[in-house]
């Protein structure tokens, strides 16, 4: 079926959609990018131009290759131009009314065999599929920002997705040079469900005066060799995006683990969204909401030899990962792949666990619980399973 795939449509050319259009064109597909009006279309074309010019400047592609990529890209304001598309990716903003409008049109315009994919990161793919007369042909294809660079694509299937459809979407992801991880339709999928609560944990520690922003970020870079700390990352991702993911996780699971930190909600309400507004945890350094560092809690944590700041941020994430694996939602390999390729982790959560040993992670979680520093009531069953049993303890 894939052999005949030639024409791809991308609806919505914001930074994500433009990046997705570029990725398909680079992989040799003819791509039609659709935007709502001429001004939005020009912005989208501008995103692609900037990205390709940068690739040429960095000598990742030649001028000739760029000309060939440009020749494969068509820009239009008419969705009707997708009447002969084989595969369409929707990348409009995360609002169900917008998705409803797009999928209603695509379902009417595209031939019955056309596969419709959504790049949603927070809405239910099942609900989006139900907006069409072809739910078996709708999949989630969740790219990571910036799409031309990040290797991970989460292929999201629903109860209506047939196995052959999953195979097609996975194959498409590979054809465009991505590393696919196949997951079911559940809030946060793999990467966001592990990454955003960890960012939220960091906000919570900061809010409670356990450590400064710099200490929090440095501790994790040191502990797991991460390229950046969680608060720097929050500024980059956008605090509004982090809050939206936390709220979606909360809606679905109603677990205190997914309650957004009050400070995160207040900063979003105040318009401090990070890099995009010039004010966040680090942006606009002159006026941070700097909690009092001399809190009694901070002293207690510093005196507690079972607690290390970096480990206090990694242990709950490792626990979340093992809960996800224990639930049968994703395999250990998929979880590690998602974090390495989607979030730039040098090692995935189960690799971090191997390095530390289950005992050390459980000890950290239990100590955090005693100080009221985590909402995890008890370590994940799979994590407890990995503890050396009582017999070994005597030797």
The DSSP line for 163-186 is HHHHHHHHHHHHHTT-EEEEEES-
Q: What is residue 306's predicted lDDT score, i.e. its pLDDT? A: 84
Q: Are residues 266 and 354 in the same domain?
A: yes
Q: Around 161, how many Cα atoms within 13 Å sit in the side-chain half-sphere?
A: 28
Q: Are residues 147 and 278 in the same domain?
A: no
Q: Are residues 216 and 262 in the same domain?
A: yes
- Contact status, residue 197 vs residue 190, Cβ threshold 8 Å: no
Give the CATH number, domain containing residue 312. 1.10.1040.50
Q: Are residues 106 and 249 in the same domain?
A: no
Q: Are residues 114 and 207 in the same domain?
A: no
Q: Which residues contact 110 (CB under 8 A, 6 or more apart)?
A: 9, 82, 83, 85, 88, 116
Final residue in a domain of this structure, among 161, 184, 207:
184
- Contact status, residue 31 vs residue 72, Cβ threshold 8 Å: yes
Radius of gyration of the chain, Cα coordinates, nearest whole angstrom: 22
Q: What is residue 285's predicted lDDT score, i.e. its pLDDT? A: 65
Instruction: Give the strand order in the sheet containing 7-11.
Output: 73-76, 30-34, 7-11, 87-90, 115-118, 138-143, 152-157, 179-184
Q: What is residue 276's predicted lDDT score, i.e. its pLDDT? A: 86
> Is residue 90 annotated as part of the catalytic site, yes or no?
no
Q: What is the pTM of this model?
A: 0.89
Kindly report, residue by residue over 156-188, the tens digit of the pLDDT: 999 999 888 999 999 999 999 999 999 999 999
Q: Are residues 255 and 369 in the same domain?
A: yes
Q: Classify residue 67: in a domain, yes or no.
A: yes
Q: Classify residue 28: in a domain, yes or no.
A: yes
Q: Around 52, how many Cα atoms within 13 Å sit in the side-chain half-sphere?
A: 25
Q: What is residue 298's predicted lDDT score, i.e. its pLDDT? A: 82
Q: Are residues 206 and 259 in the same domain?
A: yes
Catalytic residue among 51, 119, 124, 192: 192
Q: What's the domain range around 53?
A: 2-184
Final residue in a domain of this structure, among 133, 162, 184:
184
Kindly report, residue by residue over 45-80, the tens digit of the pLDDT: 999 999 999 999 999 999 999 999 999 999 999 999
> Is residue 121 annotated as part of the catalytic site, yes or no?
yes
Integer Cα distance of 349 and 367 in angstroms: 20
Q: Classify residue 393: in a domain, yes or no.
A: no
Q: Count of domains in the chain?
A: 2
Instruction: Report cis status (omega within 30 of 0) of the bond before 171.
Output: no
CA distances from 305 to 66, 356, 363, 364, 375 (A): 56, 16, 11, 10, 21
Q: Classify residue 390: in a domain, yes or no.
A: no
Q: Are residues 264 and 160 in the same domain?
A: no
Q: Are residues 143 and 20 in the same domain?
A: yes
Give the CATH number, domain containing residue 101. 3.40.50.720
Residues of the chain under the 70 pLDDT cut: 1-3, 285-294, 390-395
Q: Classify residue 270: in a domain, yes or no.
A: yes
Final residue in a domain of this structure, among 151, 184, 217:
184
Q: What is residue 305's predicted lDDT score, i.e. its pLDDT? A: 81
Q: Classify residue 392: in a domain, yes or no.
A: no
Catalytic residue among 22, 124, 142, 200: 142
**Residue written as token pair 């995935």:** 348
Catalytic residue among 35, 47, 119, 121: 121
> Is residue 142 annotated as part of the catalytic site, yes or no?
yes
Q: Around 204, how many Cα atoms within 13 Å sit in the side-chain half-sphere?
A: 21
Query: Which of 270, 282, 194 has its CA nearest to residue 236?
Result: 282
Q: Classify residue 347: in a domain, yes or no.
A: yes
CB atoms within 10 A of CB 253: 14
Q: Are residues 359 and 296 in the same domain?
A: yes
> Is residue 200 annotated as part of the catalytic site, yes or no?
no
Catalytic residue among 22, 154, 311, 351: 154
């Amino acid at each position: 079926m894939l052999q005949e795939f030639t024409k791809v449509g991308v609806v919505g050319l914001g930074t994500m959609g433009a990046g997705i259009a570029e990725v398909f064109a680079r992989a040799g597909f003819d791509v039609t990018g659709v935007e709502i009006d001429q001004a939005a279309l020009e912005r989208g074309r501008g995103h692609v131009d900037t990205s390709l010019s940068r690739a040429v400047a960095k000598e990742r592609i030649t001028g000739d290759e760029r000309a060939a990529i440009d020749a494969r890209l068509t820009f239009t304001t008419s969705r009707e131009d997708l009447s002969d598309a084989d595969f369409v990716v929707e990348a409009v903003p995360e609002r169900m009314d917008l998705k409803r409008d797009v999928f209603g049109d695509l379902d009417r315009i595209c031939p019955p065999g056309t596969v419709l994919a959504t790049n949603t990161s927070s809405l239910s793919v099942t609900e989006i599929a139900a907006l069409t007369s072809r739910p078996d042909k709708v999949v989630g294809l969740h790219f990571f920002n910036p799409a031309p660079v990040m290797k991970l694509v989460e292929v999201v299937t629903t109860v209506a997705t047939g196995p052959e459809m999953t195979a097609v979407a996975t194959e498409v992801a590979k054809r465009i040079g991505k590393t696919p991880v196949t997951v079911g339709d559940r809030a946060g999928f793999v990467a966001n469900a592990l990454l955003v609560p960890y960012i939220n944990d960091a906000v919570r520690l900061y809010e409670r005066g356990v450590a400064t922003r710099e200490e929090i970020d440095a501790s994790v870079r040191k502990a797991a060799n991460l390229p950046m700390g969680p608060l720097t990352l929050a500024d980059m991702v956008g605090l509004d995006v982090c809050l939206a993911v936390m709220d979606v996780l909360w809606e679905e699971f109603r677990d205190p683990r997914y309650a957004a930190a009050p400070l995160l909600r207040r900063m979003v309400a105040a318009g401090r969204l990070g890099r995009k507004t010039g004010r966040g945890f680090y942006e606009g350094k002159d006026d941070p909401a700097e909690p009092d560092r001399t809190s009694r809690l901070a002293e207690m944590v510093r005196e507690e030899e079972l607690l290390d700041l970096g480990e206090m941020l990694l242990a709950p994430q490792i626990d979340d990962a093992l809960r996800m694996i224990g639930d049968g939602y994703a395999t250990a390999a998929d979880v590690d792949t998602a974090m390495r390729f989607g979030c730039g982790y040098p090692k995935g959560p189960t690799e971090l666990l191997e390095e530390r040993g289950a005992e050390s992670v459980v000890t950290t979680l239990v100590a955090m619980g005693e100080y009221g520093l985590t909402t995890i009531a008890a370590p994940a069953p799979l994590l407890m399973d990995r503890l050396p049993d009582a017999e070994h303890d005597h030797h």
